[in-house]
Chains A and B, each alone.
Chain A
Amino acid sequence: MTGTEPNTGSTTPAGTRAPLTWAQVQAALPDQDERTEDPTAIIALFAGRTEAERRKLLPEYKEAIRALRDTPRGLRSLRYAGIACLGGPAGIAQWLSREDMTWPGRGVGDERAVYTLLAQRNPAWLPEIANRLAAKMPVEPWGNHWDVVDALVRGGGLPTPTTAGFVVRWLDKVGRESIGEGHTLAERLREDPYFADLLPALFEADGVGARLESQDSWQQAGQSRWGAALAELADAKVIERDTVLDGCLSRLLRGERLGASRAFIRLHDAMAPTDDELAARVDFYLRLLPDAPSPVAGTAQEVLRRLDAAGRLDAERLAEASRAVLFRSEKKLVRGQLVWLGQAIKRHPEHAGTLLAGACTAFGSTAVDLQERALILIAKHVGKLPADQAALVYDEVRAQLPLLGEALRPDAAALIGESVVAEPDPLPLLAPPPVRELPPPIGSLDELVEELAVLFAGTANPWVNPRGRATDPLAVERIVSAMLREHARDREALHTALLPLTERHAHIIEQHWFIHQVQGAVGALVAAATGYGGSRTGWFRSLFGKGTEASDHDLIPGSKVDVDRLEPAQRFLLARLYEVGTRLRVPYSGPHLAEIADATGFVDPRALVAGLEQWEASEHTPWRRDVDQALLRLPADIDPDLIARAGRLTSPAGRRVAAVLAAGGPPAGVVGRRRFDRIHREFSYRDRTWAHSDGPLATVVPGDRELLPKSASVLYDLADAGAAARGAGWSENTEPDMHCWPLLLPRDRDTIAAHLAIRTQRGIDGSSRGAEILPALAESHGPLGPGMSLALAYALGARAAEDRAAAVDALVTLAARGDAWDTAALGRDIGEAVRTRGLKTTRVVASLRDAARAGAGAAVWGVLSGFLPDLLAGTKSTGLADALSVAAETAAAGGGPAGAIRGLDELADRKGASRAVTEAKRLRRILADRG
């Protein structure tokens, strides 16, 4: 491009030229729509112009900016005009960093033109402009930022910028340009004008590691393009090896994210450092051991071990290295260190005591097998040590003894010649959680409005937070009661009080987006009480005006398919709430029968009978779902006098209630187990195969259809687990409302748990919530059976820590309340879920260990007595040793069923010293001791 050669101002005598006008500039500007941006004309126009002349154009230039600002191409066509006219280096740098100026230039030589324009204007500005642009440069590889700075730096002979943006994008550019035939990265680097200046900056700038990692991701595993190139250049004496080695180590010491640090490790390894080089940097490696990410610490450990093998590591440093690594949580590193320590003791006989004492650091590990390895190592060597050195070891063992697992403590005590009987950890007292209290009823309209505002405040949007807030079930019940009460007291006042809500929460009250959530249903109550349907009158009318015998599909708005897809408990809950809405539309709403009297959801039977008497006196028919829900909420023990009083009721609803009362309340459902094959299958793109979801689930049959309210039959009809899995992505997010479910059947929690098991089963890969209501179910009432057992089995091995914590809570609560339940059956369910659904044993055992720590040892032993036979018979031994160790701890502490565990003897009789065998022996011994 001849046109872009710098025209130095001196060649054109300024006085002989016509004054510069904006019309000339406009004529020289690249056309708005033209595909190329030819800067030739504008360079020629501005060559040799004085600052005063340029300033004079500024008003017109600003006018042009205003005119072009909102056009699709933006201000791009003014690019060169701005460079030529704007007032100073800061302004020009800002101009060039505008988003529309950083689109890549479409003409060839755009960057060169920028340099030319600036150089002929004032070369003294170049350094500042280049610095400012380099400082602002983003690391993301788009835009022309780098090329512009490159043109300025090279054109003006400026020092190489070393900002993160400049370095990282240089790295990208060089990496990209050296791919393909004929080029190697080393050759490319040799020619690169910036290489020498930027090499040290590679170890300083942020973001280099991540970029190296992404470049290496195209290489064979473990290979490093840059590593190979730098090693080649170092061999050719182009660069210093020390620069690279020291740079890598500094960078690693400063702390890097895991991926980025891997790149520097590979760079380090590619340099193949010699023993001399390693020995010179021994303290660097030593300091990487305690805090660096696992692969970095692993490399440092290898290096030090190599130095030790070469006899170049002193015992003091070795002891420090041991303590640092043995404190880490990575099993692999700790195991390696113990092996190394075993070998090193022979190499450093005079320091063997100190070194061996250091092995006690591993007693703090959470993995019992590592504790055991450390203890074995000590036991093996301590006998051969001279007395003064052995004393060091014994002292340390004595000090660290409490950290050891209970199984190992007697051995360790024997080693130091003490007969301390290992004292078991103090178990906390198992106390049932305090009874939850029902807040007093809502006392005023103001309070009602407040409670409604609270309910509407958090729109449960699954996209905002998949584990969003939960609906407070007691709040919902209190709101329903208060709405009905206020409606009966003064309909006008209720209307007036609620009106402001219809404006502020129109998105819930007027719209149909949330109709299948409690929030939307309560919104419908407000709409009903205020008569405010907003603009959607047709939809509003469809909500209300049904009779007392309406079906679910009549009551719940939305298409039949959508209503059918609702989970049964949610459907029952919504039908009742929408029925309340219908009641609020008519002048007489009558007494509320299903009003809860305690926090688990029981009604006061006396109030129920009194309410029915009022209904009969008023000669209205009570609302069916209200009666049905009240029946489901009857407590267990009912006063015979009350049953007699109910017997005097005459209306159909009254007689129905009297019959159920006489029978002692509706019977609980009969919950069973069933193995489901092919519940659902899904193509996993990660494994490139079909994943089948199988595993045991519950079945439910109503206890006595005669006594069961008709509308409640939906609660005894489980959803299709496969359809639930398939529909998970489609159906409306009803998860926040699950907390309301336990209150639907306060005397039959196993049925609710049976519904829940479908959810907790999906929770084992974290894709579904559900476990969070298990504690509430544990505090509720009714028999415990397969429903609770299966729901708990999956939740104990859930992926989300919150779910596991909730399951442990529920387990501990059940154990503390002393309800009769079959813990061994839970163990068997876990076993089957492990076999058929891939439940993770390790997670389950960790949860059980937590439960045992919380004092539920007896229950945990019961669970394990059911689970262990399955686990012992299985082919996979993952988690077996841990399960046996928890069993040994709980079998000793708790009572639980006595008797042998099937398969335990075979394992305990096996030869070998694997931890599973040791733990099996210990468990057998404890069981035998117990008799």
Chain B
Amino acid sequence: MSSPVHSFTYLRSSTLAAVDGERSLGLQTCGGLGSHGLTPFPRFFDGFLTAPEAAAGGLLAVADVAAARYYQPMRPGLLDPVVTGNGDRLRFESFSACCGVHARLDVLPAGIDGEMFGTGTTNVDVNAPLREALAKVGGADPLHLAVGPDDVTVTTFDGPVVEKKVPLPERWLRGFAEVQVISAGFDLRAELAAGEAVRFVRALPRGARQPLWAVPAGRSLRLTARPLPGAVCLPGPDRLQALTRLLRHALALRVYGPAVHARSSAVSSAWEIELPGMRLTLTLSPDPARGFSGEGAVLTGLAADSGAADADLISALLAWEPRVEVGELAARSGLAADRVRAALVRLGTGGRIGYDVAEAAYYHRELPYDTGSVERMNPRLRDAHALVAAGAVTLTGTGESATVRSGENTYGLRLAGAGSCTCQWWAEYRGGRGPCKHLLATQIVRGRAAGDPTTTAPAAQEANR
């Protein structure tokens, strides 16, 4: 599959240099939407990092994930991380090239001491000399950090810009949307003190090919081969490698995951290392071979026809908030909580919403890429709309079952609960990777039959597409 090439243009390379006798980390930025609108080289922060060594390690860990490919590691990943200025904190995010690991370093208000300039999201240049320089950060001297060039540099600079051209696969963008929906269903399952955390991460087996599960045992976690209530899935333990760099600075390890029962199949989980004034969270997909992009967690939210209008309403209320609570948004917008959630999902597909498991809250960001239409991003949804348009869905019985004619085959669907289908996709994942296109098409038809007021007009449908 070919993917569009994205060109990153930086004013200059990010560097760590001595400025007036003190070390200064100058991270260069490129493009993106902020509170001041579109800027070519946005500037978010100028000040000091209170825990420089841990911060440098955290940045390297985020860059490591961006450069890694945990499944079939043939070609390394090449994308630069993105940084979001959220008013009081900075969030550095990246995805592994296989789309199975999402890393986010949150530099909290306690971890920075300086001035925040506006808010927004942008790419940040990470290059080989910078990696070397970050690896050299040590000791307790404060480290100066500037995210984005200052205005003087932007206006007076006339040298050649630094340009990187890398493929930007759609699935990478889709991953951002899926991660926030999936992790919104997580709860804190275990918390380990520093010493136990170090021992647990170091003792993780290498090369395990079946998912393992971690259950709290005493002060630490124990690995088991099957899910138990309260367990957290650990699919592909090798993918927590990026944490090892930070173990020295770890204050605690927190583990998040959805509720599981004895017959659960592998699920996602989030592993958060607390650092002085910072948090690094790695979110793992349910299988190294499965990227977040195909998890399909957003589809049900997108299929709800009311989404588009609600999303516009909600997006106006976001305002780069570092903590977006569903309840508060519901109160301010006058929408029901589940409609707010569906609207957030829709915004999430464009990468405009992230979810912070540690705070159990959403946050606002705008990915600095052209994310295109929701339909193009989600082929399963597009196929479902095509099935609906072709009149392939027949509701049978009293609305508890349906048949969908797709190509040569007819599939029977049962709609009780989350619904099920007889197609290959559903058979393989049993709903663990979102609804199949047949189920999605049936949901759309049922939603319309139920007389969703905002969507009976075909114009709304067209606008959606």
Does A877 make an interface contact (CB < 8 A)? no
Which B residues lie within 8 Å of A772 (CB)?
A: 210, 225
* A433 with B424, Cβ < 8 A, contacts A287-B136, A446-B401 known: no
A672 contacts partner chain B, Cβ-Cβ < 8 Å: no
Q: Please determine whether A366 and B209 come into contact, CB atoms closer than 8 angstroms.
A: no
Contact across chains for A806 and B225 when beta carbons are under 8 A apart = yes
Interface of B is mostly: mixed
Rounded to whole Å, the gap between the CB of A407 and the closest CB of chain B is: 16
Residues of B within 8 A of A427 (CB): 218
In this assembly, does A454 line the interface, its C-beta being within 8 Å of a C-beta of chain B? Answer: yes
Known: A772-B225, A805-B224. A253 touches B208 (CB 8 A): no
Residues of A within 8 A of B426 (CB): 450, 453
Q: Does A177 contact B (CB under 8 A)?
A: no
Bound Cα distance A713, B173 (Å): 59
A320 and B138 form a contact (CB under 8 A): yes
Write the B10-21 contact mask toward A (1 if CB under 8 angstroms, else 0). Answer: 000000000000
Residues of A within 8 A of B421 (CB): 450
Name B380-432 residues within 8 Å CB distance of A: 401, 408-410, 412-414, 420-424, 426-428, 430
B171 at the interface (CB under 8 A from A): no
Given contacts A433-B228, A805-B223, A805-B225, contact A453 B212 (CB under 8 A): no
Q: How far is the CA of A45 from the CA of B129 in the complex (A)?
A: 50
Asked if A364 meets B424 with Cβ closer than 8 Å, knowing A290-B248, A775-B226, A850-B222, the reply is no
On whether the beta carbons of A425 and B218 are closer than 8 Å, the reply is: yes
Whether a CB of chain A sits under 8 angstroms from the CB of B217 is yes
Task: Determine the chain A residues whose CB is within 8 A of the CB of B132 once the complex forms.
Answer: 250, 253-254
**A458-B428 contact in complex given A449-B422, A775-B226, C-beta closer than 8 Å:** yes
Taking CB atoms, residues of chain A closer than 8 Å to B229 are: 434
Query: A385 vs B420: C-alpha distance in the bound complex, in angstroms?
Result: 73
In the complex, chain A residues whose CB is within 8 Å of the CB of B212: 801-802, 805
Q: How far is the CB of A90 from chain B (nearest CB, A)?
A: 14
Nearest CB on B from A466, distance (A)? 7
> Measured between alpha carbons, how far is A722 from B227 in the docked complex, in Å?
34
- A821 touches B (CB below 8 Å): no
Q: Is the CB of A450 within 8 A of B414?
A: yes
CB-based contact A802/B420 at 8 Å: no
A850–B199 CA distance with the chains assembled, in angstroms: 13
Binary interface encoding of chain A residues 529-559 relative to chain B, with 1 for a CB under 8 A from any of its CBs, else 0? 0000000000000000000000000000000
Contact B412 A801 (CB under 8 A): no
With beta carbons under 8 angstroms apart, the residue of A287, A446, A802, A853 that contacts B210 is: A802
State A284–B133 Cα separation when bound (angstroms).
Answer: 10
Residues from chain B with a CB closer than 8 A to the CB of A280 are none
User: Which residues of chain A are near B422, meaning CB under 8 Å?
Assistant: 446, 449-450, 453, 500
CB of A504 closer than 8 Å to a CB of B: yes
A320 to B139, CA, bound (A): 8
B217–A428 touching, CB < 8 Å: yes
A752-787 Cβ-contact flags toward B at 8 Å (1 or 0): 000000000000000000011001000000000000
Is A89 positioned at the interface, with any CB of B under 8 Å from its CB?
A: no
List residues of A (391-449) whose CB comes within 8 Å of B's CBs.
402-403, 425-428, 433-434, 436, 444, 446-447, 449
- Asked if residues B208 and A801 are in contact (CB atoms below 8 Å), the reply is yes
Inter-chain CA distance A466–B128, complex, in Å, is 38
Measured between C-beta atoms, what is the minimum distance from B94 to chain A in Å?
16
Checking A364, A457, A466, A855 against B427 with a beta-carbon cut-off of 8 angstroms, the contacting residue is: A457
The answer to whether A428 touches B195, judged by C-beta atoms less than 8 angstroms apart, is: no
User: Is A286 at the interface (CB under 8 A from chain B)?
Assistant: yes
Task: Bits for B29-69, please: 1 = Cβ < 8 Å to A, else 0.
Answer: 00000000000000000000000000001001000100000
**Residues of chain A lying within 8 A (CB to CB) of residue B225:** 771-772, 775, 802-803, 805-806, 809
Partner of A425, one of B206, B210, B219, B420: B219
B376 located at the interface, meaning its Cβ lies under 8 Å from any Cβ of chain A in the complex? no
B248 lies within 8 A of A327 (CB): yes
A500 and B409 contact, Cβ closer than 8 Å, known pairs A453-B427, A801-B212: yes
Q: How far does the alpha carbon of A366 sit from the alpha carbon of B263 in the complex, in Å? A: 34
> Measured between alpha carbons, how far is A329 from B202 in the docked complex, in Å?
8
Q: List which A854-868 residues lie within 8 A (CB) of chain B.
A: 854-855
Q: Contacts A453-B424, A802-B225: A434 and B208 contacting too (C-beta < 8 A)? A: no
| Interchain CB contact under 8 A, A504 and B409 | yes
Q: Determine how close the nearest CB of chain A comes to the CB of B128; give it in whole angstroms.
A: 6
> Is A598 on the interface with B (CB-CB < 8 A)?
no
> Is B203 part of the binding interface, using a Cβ–Cβ cutoff of 8 Å?
yes
Contact call B209/A466, Cβ cutoff below 8 A: yes
Q: Mark A466-480, 1 if CB is under 8 A from B, else 0.
A: 110000000000000
- CB neighbours of B423 from chain A (8 A): 453
* CB contact between A467 and one of B57, B138, B209, B228 (< 8 Å): that residue: B209
B53 CB to closest chain A CB, in angstroms? 9
Q: Is A456 an interface residue (CB 8 A)?
A: yes
Chain A stretch 461-507: residues in CB contact (< 8 A) with chain B: 465-467, 500, 503-504
Which residues does chain B contribute within 8 Å of A250, judged by CB atoms? 132
- Please, which residues of chain B bring their CB within 8 A of the CB of A426? 218-219
In the complex, what distance in Å separates the CA atom of A366 from the CA atom of B139? 26
A291 within 8 A of B: yes
List residues of chain A with CB within 8 A of the CB of B185: none
B135 touches A (CB below 8 Å): yes
Interface size on B, residues (CB 8 A): 57
Q: Are A801 and B205 in contact (CB under 8 A)?
A: yes
The CA of A809 and the CA of B225, in the complex, are separated in Å by: 7
Q: Does A584 contact B (CB under 8 A)?
A: no
Question: A871 in the interface, Cβ–Cβ < 8 Å?
Answer: no
- Nearest A residue to B421 via CB reads A450
Q: B128 contacts which chain A residues (CB < 8 A)?
A: 204, 254
Chain A 833-869 per-residue mask, 1 if CB under 8 angstroms from chain B, else 0:
0000000000000000010011100000000000000
Asked if B218 and A802 make an inter-chain contact with CB atoms under 8 angstroms apart, the answer reads no
Q: Are B262 and A436 in contact (CB under 8 A)?
A: yes
B226 near A457 with CB under 8 A, answer no
Most interface-central of B206, B413, B422, B426 (chain A CB within 10 A): B422
Q: Does A808 contact B (CB under 8 A)?
A: yes
Q: Determine if B208 and A853 form an interchain contact, defined as CB atoms under 8 angstroms apart.
A: no
Q: Cα distance A434–B421 when bound, in Å? A: 30
Q: Kindly name the residue among B412, B414, B420, B430 whose own CB sees the greatest number of chain A CB atoms within 10 A.
A: B412
- Min C-beta distance of A351 to chain B, whole Å: 16
Tell yes or no: A107 within 8 A of B by CB: no
Q: How far is the CB of A554 from chain B (nearest CB, A)?
A: 32
Does A283 belong to the interface (CB within 8 Å)? Answer: yes
Inter-chain contacts of B139 with A (CB < 8 A): 320
Beta-carbon contacts under 8 Å, A326-357 to B: 327, 329
Q: How far is the CA of A855 from the CA of B413 in the complex (A)?
A: 45
What 0/1 readout, one digit per residue, does chain A (889-903) give for beta carbons within 8 Å of chain B? 000000000000000
Chain B stretch 345-379: residues in CB contact (< 8 A) with chain A: none
Closest B residue by C-beta to A363? B195
Q: Is A123 an interface position by the 8 A CB rule?
A: no
Chain B residues with CB under 8 A of A283: 136, 138
Q: List 18 A-B contacts (CB under 8 A).
A: A204-B128, A253-B132, A253-B136, A284-B136, A291-B245, A327-B247, A428-B218, A446-B413, A446-B422, A453-B426, A503-B408, A800-B209, A801-B207, A802-B209, A802-B210, A805-B225, A850-B222, A854-B217
The 5 closest A-B CB pairs, nearest first, are A801-B205, A457-B427, A806-B225, A453-B427, A805-B225
* Chain B residues with a Cβ under 8 A of chain A: 57, 60, 64, 128, 131-132, 135-136, 138-139, 195, 198-199, 202-203, 205-210, 212, 216-220, 222-226, 228-229, 237, 244-245, 247-248, 262-263, 401, 408-410, 412-414, 420-424, 426-428, 430
Interface contacts beyond A255-B60, A453-B422, A808-B222: sample of 10 additional A-B pairs, CB < 8 Å, sorted by A: A253-B136, A283-B138, A287-B135, A402-B195, A403-B195, A427-B218, A433-B262, A434-B262, A447-B414, A467-B210
Q: A residues within 8 Å of B by Cβ?
A: 204, 250, 253-255, 283-284, 286-287, 290-291, 320, 324, 327, 329, 364, 366, 402-403, 425-428, 433-434, 436, 444, 446-447, 449-450, 453-454, 456-458, 465-467, 500, 503-504, 771-772, 775, 800-803, 805-806, 808-809, 850, 853-855
